[in-house]
Chains A and B, each alone.
Chain A
Amino acid sequence: MLYDLELISVGKTYPDGTVAVSDFDLRVEKGEFVAFLGPSGCGKSTTLRMIAGFEEITNGEILMMSHNVTHVPPEKRPTSMIFQNYALFPHMTVRENVAFGLDVKGTPRAERDRKVERILDMFDLTAFADRKADRLSGGQRQRIALARGLVVEPEILLLDEPLGALDANLRRIIQNELKLLQRELGITFIFVTHAQSEALGLSDRVVVMSNGVVEQISPPRELYRRPATPFVAGFIGSNTLIEGAPLGAAAAGFGRLDTPVGVIEGVGRGDERLAVIPAEAFRLVPQGTPGELHLPGTVVGRHLVGAVGHLTVRLADGSDVAVETSSHRPEVRALAPGMPVTLGVDPASVTLVHA
């Protein structure tokens, strides 16, 4: 298998001993859309800058199309980077900005003009082409930055929080455009963001990072369904985390955990110490429904937002869990704080992770 991008235990330690990133392993196929997701300071931007060649790598290797680029300077890598502040050239017009890369490389004039006009057209920039780049709105400048980065035909496009400076509406629009664009061009996209919705909505795979370490690399759905670490369980979605003592394996692929609220069965090997239950996995059930875990509790809060009902239920050990349920059902509408309920959970939607 040929990969567009391979990171082999890539790490960066600053001269003062601070570790920015350690043991980053990732293989990206051609045309894949990968998002780096994590809180600020988790090392996601540093990793992106290492891929671009702006940060030195102190451990490991980076390969692009099977060529080792670990010590190749940024201008010689087949990557193009889009910056959060767009980093447009203030002294050039929109067209000059877009043409710059081809211009300096000595692309024949006819070919350059053809490519530039095509991409200006593609990004709806033709009307502003002769204006100074910094005279335009945020969304337009974002498009200029994309056009400028793509016109040089990179193999890999690196995007550093490219939507961070846009307002919510524009962000949604450009988000959709990005996705379409990536499909159309078939270029590999590496996208850094701290916004879950962007990472989960856009990418084929998400790399969740915290404190310079990769926590999990999974398709977005898997992150929701099967978080691999307590950090991911706490960071993605709205999960209830219950600690307990391992009771060993139950049925094949399932493990059991002895917790203060009772024995919980879930997907795992049985040597884990933490059960992760997504808020939407809880259901309100009559006691004794077969095939379910039963967690008795008391309603302490009810908040109906449109079709979704957000309940807070206090379990036997005094811990509160968030429950998401349909607000249309009469038994949900009838609930009031103080009323006893039983929460049912299908063990298949429970994930056991090592604490």
Chain B
Amino acid sequence: MQSRALRPVLATYTALFLLFLYGPMIVLAILSFQGPEGGPQFPIQEWSVYWYKHLLGFAGTSRVSQLPVGDSLLRSIALAFMTTVVSTVLGVMSAEAFRTRFKGSGPAFYLIILGMMVPGVLVGLGMALLSNTLGLSRAWWSTSFVLHVVYTYPFAFLVMLAIFNRFDRSVEEASLSLGVSPAQTFRRVTFPIIFPGVLSAMLFSFTLSYDEFARTLFTAGRALTLPLAIYGTFSVEIHPNIFAFGVLTTLFSFTLLVVYGLLMKRFTARAARFHGQEES
């Protein structure tokens, strides 16, 4: 009865919400097609893909130096990949451990979760001081990597915990009672069933690590990751090439999401059918 009056209000609210959510991205995308003489603001001087060419080094000589992102992009992808693998493995293993109550499981749970709660700047600073004290050099693949794992592992852990929460243990028991070892049972029964969760855990770990800033800032040493490199260019002068890069990296993220979505679709269709088994 209220819905008639409420509907336009909710529609406006949703529209505004979406506008603010995607507004910055849309502005960024539009400005990336600025002409060679244009700056990082409106109006658009002329529509062109000049800055994309510039970014990839096909623009010839230019008044603006090329965006120094090539190496840092590779670093960030490598770091995100390493983090994803380690965090997901740790997350799956510890969530598996938490399926049964063990002594100290309460404190252990909060210690894991702490990794995503503590302010990144502080942990980053702490890590920098620690490595200084110990005389260790800082690098994206060592000190930053550790902090990235500490940060993303709780997310992977929580995702897997939720997955195991709904997991029907009798399927594993059925396997064991057929004479299959626990290790084989995990590999051939448990893992295929929890795989959608593993995929989500991986996505979380990857995206969180890929654009992590605060923790990396103090711990990456000389070789910068992508977010640091981009931030570095802001301190000189901003040109539309950075928007072009923003668009490309967003497209990269979308590709990841699409792959994730497709894989999920395949597996959740199966999970839905599986659910029917228990209810009927």
Contacts and interface: CB of A to CB of B under 8 A. Distances in A.
Interface string B217-236: 00000000000000000000
A138 interface: yes
Contacts of A225: none
B177 A90 contact: no
B184 interface: yes
A141 B277 contact: yes
Contacts of B277: 85-86, 88, 90, 133-134, 141
A53 B178 CA distance: 12
Interface string A127-138: 000001111001
B178 A91 contact: no
A100 interface: yes
A90 B280 contact: no
A81 interface: yes
Given A86-B277, A89-B189, A152 B173 contact: no
A91 B182 contact: no
B106 interface: no
A104 B170 contact: no
A60 interface: no
Interface stretch (A72-80, A304-312, A336-344): A72-80
A52 B182 CA distance: 15
A148 B170 CA distance: 14
Nearest to A85: B278
Contacts of A91: 192-193, 270
B271 A90 contact: yes
A87 interface: yes
Contacts of B177: 52-53, 74-75, 77, 79-81, 149, 158
Interface residues of B, number: 27
A74 B276 CA distance: 27
| A contact face: mostly helix, strand, loop, or mixed | mixed
Contacts of A88: 171, 174, 277
Contacts of A65: none
Nearest to B189: A89
A53 B179 CA distance: 12
Interface string A66-108: 0000000111110111010111111100000000110011000
B273 A90 contact: yes
A54 interface: yes
Given A87-B168, A87-B170, A90-B193, A135 B273 contact: yes
Nearest to B174: A87
Q: Which of B173, B177, B180 has the most CB of A within 10 A?
A: B177
Interface in A109-161: 132-135, 138, 141, 145, 148-149, 152, 158
A54 B260 CA distance: 36
5 contacts: A74-B173, A80-B177, A85-B168, A89-B174, A89-B175
